[in-house]
Structure 1
Amino acid sequence: MSPRMILLAGSLVMLTGVAIGAFGAHGLEKMLERLGRTTSLAQRAEWLETGVRYQLVHGLGLLALASFAMREPSRLLSAASVALLLGVLLFSGSLYAMTLGPATWKKLGMVVPVGGLAYLVGWGLLAVESWKRV
């Protein structure tokens, strides 16, 4: 990804993270009631909160990567950005689906660690790139 695309992705990840967090605070319970999914409301709220927290942290990571890549682009920084973005989609996305979906969607919990692994790969690639520059 180009530095501009990394910046755009990071900005959109932050934008949607804030919006989803606001939805969780102000509309989640009503939506779940409308959908008839009032069982385990506390668990669903916790899934949403965890998804938002990780999304925002890794959105900031993407913005930092964009800043580094604008100064000195590299394939590793680009790959790290893709990995972090994939992590957001898999980790947070699965938690959001579990939050809003029927009870059977709880099986998506198996995808969450794959997103966590993508986060680790992204941070690992940044560490390798940093080591090369020292």
Structure 2
Amino acid sequence: MPLSPLLPRPKLKRNQAMNPRLWHKVAAISGIAALGLGTYGSHGFKPNDPTYKQVWQTASLYHLVHTAALLAAPLTKHPNIFGGLLTAGIMAFSGTCYVVAYLEDRSYSRLAPFGGFAFIGAWASLLF
């Protein structure tokens, strides 16, 4: 039921601005993508340079591990920070690695370090 624009909105705490269970849905979507891309990497991806197979496997590993960690986001003190940083890390790090491997061109790797820092930030957010 939509809220009337004339009624005041309920006050929410800062970390409750978004339903933390949303991260389970994000994890589900990411998990589907991780398994699909991992399966393709294992069975269908045949790069000309075999070193790109390892890049794909690294992307797949980090994608799947951090997707599993997303399931814990609702249990954290700051679920949107933790979940948001993990999601950004998956997209920037794993996404970049998938593109680099698929195109067999390392010039597309510029975003990968930002993804790595997002992963570090997500795990560090658990300290606060």
Judge same fold: TM > 0.5, yes or no.
yes
2:89 pairs, out of 76, 87, 90, with: 87
**Does the 8 Å CA contact 2:82/2:123 hold for their aligned counterparts?**
yes
| 1:56 alignment partner AA | L
Moved over 4 A (4+): none
- Give 1:46's aligned residue: 54
- Give 2:6's aligned residue: none
**Does the 8 Å CA contact 1:77/1:125 hold for their aligned counterparts?**
no
- Give 2:69's aligned residue: 61
The offset of 1:110, in angstroms, is 2.6
Q: What number of residue pairs does the alignment pair up?
A: 111
- Give 2:102's aligned residue: 100
User: TM-score, normalised on structure 1?
Assistant: 0.76
Unmatched 5+ stretches in structure 2: 1-17
For the residue of structure 2 that corresponds to 1:28, the secondary structure is coil
User: TM-score, normalised on structure 2?
Assistant: 0.80
The one-character-per-residue Cα deviations of 1:76-97 (angstroms, maximum 9, x if unpaired) are 2211110000000000000000
Q: Percent identity?
A: 24
Distance (whole Å) between structure 1 residues aligned to residue 58 and residue 109 of structure 2: 13
Please give the root-mean-square deviation of Cα atoms over the aligned residues, in Å: 1.5
The offset of 1:102, in angstroms, is 5.0
- Give 2:8's aligned residue: none
The one-character-per-residue Cα deviations of 1:10-54 (angstroms, maximum 9, x if unpaired) are 11111111111110111101xx4xxxxx2x2x1111111000100
Distance (whole Å) between structure 2 residues aligned to residue 24 and residue 102 of structure 1: 13
The one-character-per-residue Cα deviations of 1:51-76 (angstroms, maximum 9, x if unpaired) are 0100111001101113x15xxxx5x2
